[in-house]
Amino acid sequence: MNRRPGVLLGAALALAALLGSALPATAAPSGGSPRPVVTVAQGALRGQSRDGAQEFLGVPYAAPPVGEARLRTPTPPPRWHGTREASRQAPACLQFSPFGLSDPGAVSEDCLYLDVYRPRGARPGARLPVIFWMHGGAYSQGTGTQFGGRTMADLTGSVVVSINYRLGQLGYLALPELRRRGEGGSGSFGLMDQLAALRWTRENIGAFGGDPGGVTVSGQSAGSGSVCALLAAPSAAGLFHRAVLQSGPCTLLRTPDSAAAEAQARAFASRVGCSAPAEVAGCLRAVSGAALVEAARTLPTSGPASGDGLLPVEPARAIGSGAWNKVPVLIGSTRAEARFFVALTQPHLTAEQYAAQVLAGYGAAGPEVLARYPVADHGSPYLALSALLTDSTFACHTAWTAQLFASQVPTYVYEFDDPRSPTLAGAQVPGLDESNAHSAELAYLYDFTMGDRPLTPVQTALGNRMKRYWAAFARFGVPAVPGQTPWPAAGAGADAGTVFTLDPVATRTVTSFGADHQCAFWRTQPPARL
């Protein structure tokens, strides 16, 4: 295969991610109405009690981006009269790489909604920590409705907000003809949606008992890439106070510059029959959603672009320069991220194919790469290539991104390591071990709807520990939980420094992460063609 790892991983992401003790009792009062009502800026919302928490579902944070509002900056949602029912989740945004939805037909361009979960009996003024979640899915698929926050809210006394944002070319289309003065003249509408949801949260979360001055922005995979963008976006300053990056390090998920993004956008517009510059905006707003999805099938979705007024500098470069929205950071990856991608793209790889691919992809360094990742040491070509790609991409880039953060702000690094973890439903390949792969940790943190099997009691216990660490970080900026293993901050030294291993049997601190993943070697290697 004659593709760079980033291209391979991006293509697989488009299939994939669709892919102690609790906090003080005063933070989560007991009781509460079975049909709680809160009043936000737009009107009253009636939620519901479920599984020990209260949830407010399908809450609009922006006006529907449909018709003439398609491919425009989001605007505030309209007010309503009376009490709006908030007991049903909204449709997913239009999916450009459909995968994993329980109801594939439950998609719409009218999708700018969020779900709020809070502890039972929470009251305005409680100032509970807020965990603001952005789903992954290669910027082309997924929905916030797959990530319930009931257990997190009930267990930790926190408020969880899970959002939808526009995807594919409806969310990221860098055509100058679409740009306006708002948001600095950008085509990154998905990023604008995330900013709009954060502004809505700042304005309204106090009504749910959340602390508008204690918002933790968090995401996994493309959602983590979105966190990177928010860290570098000047207009995001002050909208959040901590950041969690799961399996999406900023040095790996690079943004295209404005010229490359515009070239991609022009190719898409031409494919859909909208090539005349003077008419392209109106043409794109008139085309059916189905036609847009069809046109995007063989074209990449790049996510937010840098080099415009919304995101002036590529996030990794902005962070490295010190010119970013500095907040404490929690960052990590899973032990065997790339198993998922290799299982989806090369499940039946032979030893001969593996060797030929590595030699062709790494040129003069190929023999050394094969010597470092021999099939005999890993048990199969699938596992050998998975280890190679995990180390050279997610693992070491997590270490290198953590280094950038750790020299400037308190930084906490983890590696999720459960050798019996579930994978995503519908993505299992018979005979292949996909444990610890990309997305493995999601079921441990959220009421996740895409796991291929329920967690065992031991795994549930690990998940509860993880929830408490995450919530403590959201509350204090430090993942310190009484009675649980201390999680020290990472140093600013070489490679990963101090890494916290999240293991169901022995949660522990390690300093060998860089050596375990051969990061010193990978830092010297140029990108391969695999």
Among residues 413, 500, 416, 512, the alpha carbon closest in space to that of 462 is found at 416
Among residues 97, 104, 120, the alpha carbon closest in space to that of 51 is found at 120
Output the CA–CA distances (angstroms, integers) from residue 157 to 77, 412, 476, in the order listed: 28, 22, 13
* CA 403 centroid distance within chain: 20
Which amino acid is present at 90? Answer: A
DSSP secondary structure code for residue 104 in this structure: T
CA 242 – CA 15 distance, rounded (Å): 29
DSSP secondary structure code for residue 492 in this structure: S
Residue 338 contacts residue 386 (beta carbons within 8 Å):
yes
Residue 97 contacts residue 18 (beta carbons within 8 Å):
yes
CA dihedral 477→480→482→483, nearest 10 degrees, is: 160
Residue 11 contacts residue 4 (beta carbons within 8 Å):
no
247 in catalytic set: no
Output the CA–CA distances (angstroms, integers) from residue 404 to 202, 263, 424, in the order listed: 28, 30, 31
Token output for 51: 């599984």
Token output for 33: 């109405």
Sheet with 128-134, edge to edge strand ranges: 48-50, 53-60, 113-119, 159-163, 128-134, 210-220, 242-246, 329-334, 411-416, 499-502, 508-510
Residue 519 φ/ψ, nearest 5 degrees = -70, -30
Q: Which of 158, 186, 218, 221 is catalytic?
A: 221
Q: Which residues pair with 133 in a beta bridge?
A: 162, 218
- The residue written with tokens 């439903």 in the block is 425
Residue 418 contacts residue 119 (beta carbons within 8 Å):
no
Output the CA–CA distances (angstroms, integers) from residue 19 to 263, 432, 436, in the order listed: 27, 19, 16
CA 420 – CA 426 distance, rounded (Å): 17
- The residue written with tokens 């299992």 in the block is 428
Token output for 148: 């319930």
Sign of torsion, CA 417 420 422 428? positive
Listing DSSP states for 308-372 in one string gives SSSS-S-HHHHHHHT-S----EEEEEETTTTHHHHHHH-TT--HHHHHHHHHHHHGGGHHHHHHH
Residue 145 contacts residue 92 (beta carbons within 8 Å):
yes
CA 244 – CA 216 distance, rounded (Å): 7
CA 300 – CA 7 distance, rounded (Å): 9
Active-site positions? 221
